[in-house]
Chains A and B, each alone.
Chain A
Amino acid sequence: MNIAESVIRSTLMRIRGLKKSYRTTGGELTVLDGIDLDLEGGDELAITGPSGSGKSTLLHIIGGLDTPTAGTIDIDGRSLAELSSRDLADYRSHSVGFVFQDHHLLPQCTVLENTLIPTLAAGGATRERIDRARWLVERIGLGHRLTHRPAELSGGERQRVAIARALVNGPKLLLCDEPTGNLDRANAERIGDLLIQLAQDSRAILIVVTHSLELAAKLKIRMELIDGRLAPA
């Protein structure tokens, strides 16, 4: 069995009536207002929408970084709302891979170490995981820069490392928040392809929040978040 094929069972994600609102000095601000969504392993979803529409918030809630005001998210039949903070951490560790607009690489760590960071939360960097990390770094085209630190990489290279980091634990969900937002067109093109390819390899659900129509166009499903609701783009 290929390392990339380690996720064999198809994942099911089911979101119902998801709401998120904030209390502000100007009153209550509703960002998400009843999101319903069903996805399964191998699905690729691009979410677009204007700034402040709640795209990132939706992604954070799906990734267990934030909690909804109402509604449920079930992953493989298990509701995130029922998870304790410890279980949520485990969920993020084993089931979710994040790619942010800003790479957020640890400046003190090398490319390989940064890639291996998620293994810290998943029982440590075993030989198998180190091999997978090396394979991923090879896949993103930085096999020759394993020992380089973020400061020695370009913006595109850093973001590629962030993608490798997101995939090192073989997540069921690959959540990307404006992954190409800080990159030039060529790099953005390359990162987009890489994301899709790697997600397909691992049969993970890929959700990309982006302003980039080019990137959105590469994904199978495209939706737009307007007034707190998802609608086909």
Chain B
Amino acid sequence: MNYFRLLQETLTHYWRTNLAVLLGTLIGSAVLTGSLLVGDSMRGTLREMTLERLGNVDVVMIGPKFFRQDLPKRLLDTQRPNSPSSVAAIILIRGAVTGPNETRASTVQIIGTTPAFWQMFPKTGLNAEEAASKVIVNQSLADQIKLDVNEKTRARIAVRLEKASDIPREGLLGRREGTIRSVPFTVDQVIPDVGAGRFSLDMTQRMPATLFVPIEKLAGPIEQKGRANALLVTDSPTSQGTSKVVQQIQNALSLDDLGVELQSEKEWISIGSRERILSDTVVRAVNRLITDEHLASQHIMTYLANTIALGNKEIPYSVVAGMDYPVESPLGPIVANPPKHYPVPHQVIVNQWTADKLGAKVGDEIRLEYFEVQNDSTLKTKNESFKIIAVAPMEGLAIDRRYTPEYPGITDADTFGDWDAPFPVDLDRVKADDEKYWKDYRTAPKVFLSLVDAQRLWSTRFGNLTSIRLVGPKQLTAPEEQKDVISRQLRKLLDPEELGFAILPIRETSLSASSGSTDFGMLFVSMSFFLIVSAALLVGLLFRLNTERRSASIGVLMAVGVRPSTVRWLLLAEGFVLASIGSLLGLGGAVLYARSLLKLLSTWWKDAVGTSFIDFHAAPASFVVGSLSSLIIALIAVYWATSRISKTPIPELFNEGFTFVGRSRRRRWLHWFLAVAGLLGGIGLIFAGLFGLTSEMGAFFGGGTLLLIGDLALLSAFLHRPALSDPAALVRGAGFIAITRLGIRNASRYPTRSLVTATLLALAVFLVVAVGSMRHGKPPHIPDKTSGNGGFALLATASTPLTRDLSDPEGRFAMNVSDEASELLKNAEIYSFRVKSGDDASCLNIYQPRHPTILAATKPFIERGGFAFASTLAESKEEAENPWKLLDKDFGPGVIPAIGDAATLQWILKVPVGSDLEMRTEKGEIVRLRIVGGLNESVFQGQLVISESAFLKAFPSITGKRFFLIAPSGGSSDKLASLMEKDLSDYGVDVDSTGRVIENYLSVQDTYMAAFQTLGGLGLMLGTLGLAAVLLRNILERRGELALFRAIGFRDSAIAWMVLSETGTLLWAGLLTGTVCALIAVLPQLIRIHDWGVMIPLGVTLLVVIFLGFMSGFIAVIAALRSPVLAALRSERA
């Protein structure tokens, strides 16, 4: 005989009870490891999706400007070591597609393809050269527009594309109308959603709807022939990391790619921009070049004056120029004699032609009338007066038309009548001599003013110079040579990232984002937490019951001299063996558990996230971590179960019905203290919440939790209470009440067992009820200014920005909005937002968003206020009343206040109110978004809102509005929605009710709650199993006692009732305590429940638990009654 043999014999002899312990461990291991496998599956699926949607693309460059299509050629320089293995320049834009049956897809990814693009997606299975000459749609788009294409039939589709204008749309010369072009295409092929069919740079699990068009067929309609806006790079296998590739791309970009134009003149170099306005970044670089190389320079800002007037005489539509005035040739002077004539603020030089036409002379004051572009893209006429200080003769630089950049449709027009201007032109004002000037001098400025004045009046967020003239280094004489040198030097000084060219190691970042917005492994471990704890408590309880049952054997071991510590080690070894086997067997269960959860999630999420996409994946580490963790948890439970062994007097171990008695019996004061403190603290906290002394939600949750602790302590005090002062009180009376009293008293026979059981039930019920009450259900669709919909019934989004105002009748007319829709929109409250597209940060996206979408709230929207805030940084009363005003608050340099949906902030972005999130501006600067408010259940899930002024500073090139909140003044929202979708289909406008949008978001949140509730429910049932085990054990130990009751004449019904009273005491103690405290804890939330239907599953769970609990009682009763009286009376342990 040795300890090993004894252990072996014990394990096999008590196989039934050991099996129960083993099953408990198995459940714990299966749940814990299974939860980790859910995380593996989520990560694995997202990783696979990432790899598939990126094909062989490692690095991507997205330009705000279109670059030359020959960039790949320049990049694939074989002379250079570690050159990328392949590069594709493509056009990547969004548009709307209408199918043959007028079915429409509003947000379609349109790709202008080349053979190099198709080569990056070998999984597509197409010949690259062939595919690059075809119009192809992926299955998702085909499904959306109900397209049926086969070898014999081709289908025609209409694609609405936005012309990619180089000139900012919100500048004076930017085109805001006629920017959408409908282009017909014949679809040659539909490809499945694999390989290129799945290509997307967006980090989302949603399948993109994609149209592939040969690049030349797409470049023409968007007016970007020979250009592309996205560069896809496959890294060389020998490359030493993507940073090298990023550097190579940066170096390969030419000035032309960056939108900078160098014009070589005979005596100077003119630096301009394809945007016709030089950005601050370019100006900074040029100025540095001027300083470094000691170059002569002239900074020029030209503008169009609608009128130059003196008294009642006026000249229409004239170019005016502000500049600095070098006196040295070749950049000056404008007026040769005396050469030092140059205007300071409020002074101008006019040319002779202008002076003659106006009858003006030096000293006269002329008035300039001009358009100022407003933030909403409307034009406002303004004017300013200037004093004439000189008249320039019509010669030399005074008639230099090259001061003015080329504007297609204007500078190339032969007459005023041929102007194709994006602003209103009244041709009646144009006289013959004006036409003659145009013919002779074209865009030569008529008025020269100071640069300071020009920039004061006409600078925009896009820049404040139209060109800069430089005189190259004196040692170089050939203009082309000068241009080359300056071009190279300027290119070196320009950082493409500062110009908005984002070069991203997309594979690296996407794979990192594929870890998910949430660690689903840990999420499900948390959700299954109660199940795991229940399993652990069950293991502990069963092991303890086993130990108690074998107390005499343990006593014998100690009596014969085996040390208590050795006995405990023996028991722990027994527990270790059982837990090890259980944990290992649980791994099989883990796979089943994970698969079941994935199945459930896929079903629940299908509608919300667009696809049932989660495949099973398992990482070996999860099995190791899961099994080891569950083993440790089980061992802790066993350790607890055996903790009293060494402290128990050995003779007590031989007592019939032995049970370990903890210190609790001796520390009754502690129970009472906890009971009183918990109950008083809970009630106090709730009152503090009611009277606004602390946050209502926190007060109620804290209060409910304290009440739970107090109640359980009270129960403990009741179970551990001393004998009654009246020794006969227990058996006083007769009949139903007396038997019930006896049954209740029996519950305190084994206080620890009873308390553990009731606590298990109470905690499980508390969690399940609390979480169940947090489910939202369907939100009301009634617009309410103080709710999550902010009082707006409709939410519209556009794939192409609307540069005209929807609330302006002229804007609606310009955008071809029908009279019927215009009538409905006339009195509607409409707020439009600029959008900086980013990752969807709502709970509908499973990927970890890196750069959330940013919305710009206009001043009127901020002033309007509304919506429900969960928390804010409001300090003043005004801010508290309208927290949107915090968006205009100054938090110091580099800090932009932002507001987001509380759920997005908490769960996806993980930035609480008051903390900062980094954001990269268009110029590559890092600014901090200070979260100043969190909205409750709002339509802003997935985005962050900042003020429009801050937005325009951070993203000056973003024009137009793409997000709209609409509150129709009456009538049918549905009708307006369908009319808007139809009328604004060119812009890919989708309109949805805010109620539905919120409902969609909440349904995903509810999914998590439902999962938590389901798993909590399972934990609750496991807790009920614990109750059953305790009851059966109690009954088995008292077989003799119950037999005695029968022997002395108690009816079976009386015994049954006594047992049921005992069951009911524990069951109700647990259920009632948990339920009542949980309901108190979530009372503020409960009041806000939209749909009481969500409480049905909760009710069902509780009913099942009550049923199972009483079934346990009935089984115990049957066990008690089936035992033969005499045998039970004579029973002995064997």
Contact = CB atoms under 8 A, between A and B. Distances in A.
A102 B561 contact: no
Contacts of B722: 25
Interface in B1-42: 1-3, 5-6, 9-10, 12-14
7 smallest CB-CB distances across A and B, nearest first, come from A93-B561, A108-B13, A121-B561, A118-B560, A116-B1, A92-B561, A121-B562
A89 to B, nearest CB: 4
A106 B13 CA distance: 10
A102 B6 contact: no
B957 to A, nearest CB: 82
Nearest to B556: A104
A109 B9 contact: yes
Contacts of A120: 1-3, 6, 557, 560, 562
Interface in A44-62: 56-57, 60
Contacts of B6: 106, 109, 113, 117, 120
B558 A89 contact: yes
Interface in A86-122: 86, 89-94, 96-98, 100, 102, 104-109, 112-113, 116-122
Contacts of B123: none
B560 A102 contact: no
B552 A108 contact: no
A150 B556 CA distance: 15
B78 interface: no
Interface string A57-96: 1001001011000000000000000000110011111101
Interface string B255-298: 00000000000000000000000000000000000000000000
B560 A107 contact: no
A108 B553 CA distance: 10
B1076 interface: no
Contacts of B1133: 102
Given A25-B722, A25-B723, A102-B552, A65 B559 contact: yes
B651 A93 contact: no
B1096 interface: no
A105 B651 CA distance: 15
Contacts of B3: 120
A89 B561 contact: yes
A108 B560 contact: no
A65 B562 contact: no
Interface string A150-163: 11000000000000
Binding site secondary structure of chain A? helix
A63 B559 contact: yes
A222 B566 CA distance: 38
Contacts of A122: 561
Give the one of B12, B556, B723 with max A CB within 10 A: B556
B878 interface: no
A221 B864 CA distance: 105
B1017 to A, nearest CB: 38
A118 B992 CA distance: 81
Given A108-B12, A124-B2, A118 B723 contact: no
Nearest to A165: B560
Contact of B9 (A60, A94, A96, A108): A108
A145 B562 CA distance: 26
B563 A89 contact: yes
A125 interface: yes
Given A25-B722, A109-B6, A120-B6, A98 B1132 contact: no
Contacts of B13: 107-108
Interface residues of A, number: 42
A92 B559 contact: yes
Give the one of B5, B10, B562 with max A CB within 10 A: B562
B796 interface: no
A60 B5 contact: no
B452 interface: no
Interface residues of B, number: 32
Given A104-B556, A108-B12, A113-B1, A86 B563 contact: yes
A155 B553 CA distance: 17
A28 B3 CA distance: 41
Contacts of A150: 1134
Interface of A: 25, 56-57, 60, 63, 65-66, 85-86, 89-94, 96-98, 100, 102, 104-109, 112-113, 116-122, 124-125, 150-151, 165, 169, 182
A117 B560 contact: yes
Contact of A106 (B556, B559, B563, B564): B556
Contacts of B1: 109, 112-113, 116-117, 119-120, 125
B561 A113 contact: no
B1134 A113 contact: no
A164 B312 CA distance: 135
Give the one of A25, A117, A124, A151 with max B CB within 10 A: A117
B84 to A, nearest CB: 72
A118 B12 CA distance: 21
B650 interface: yes
Contact of A91 (B10, B556, B561): B561
Given A102-B654, A107-B13, 10 more contacts: A25-B723, A60-B650, A60-B651, A89-B563, A104-B654, A106-B10, A112-B1, A113-B1, A121-B566, A169-B561
B522 to A, nearest CB: 42
Contacts of B12: 108
Contacts of A66: 649-651
Nearest to B7: A108
Interface string B42-82: 00000000000000000000000000000000000000000
14 contacts: A65-B651, A66-B650, A85-B564, A92-B560, A93-B560, A93-B561, A97-B560, A98-B559, A104-B555, A104-B556, A106-B6, A108-B14, A119-B1, A121-B563
B9 A121 contact: no
A94 B566 CA distance: 16
A166 B723 CA distance: 39
Interface string B544-586: 0000000011011111111110100000000000000000000
B1134 to A, nearest CB: 6
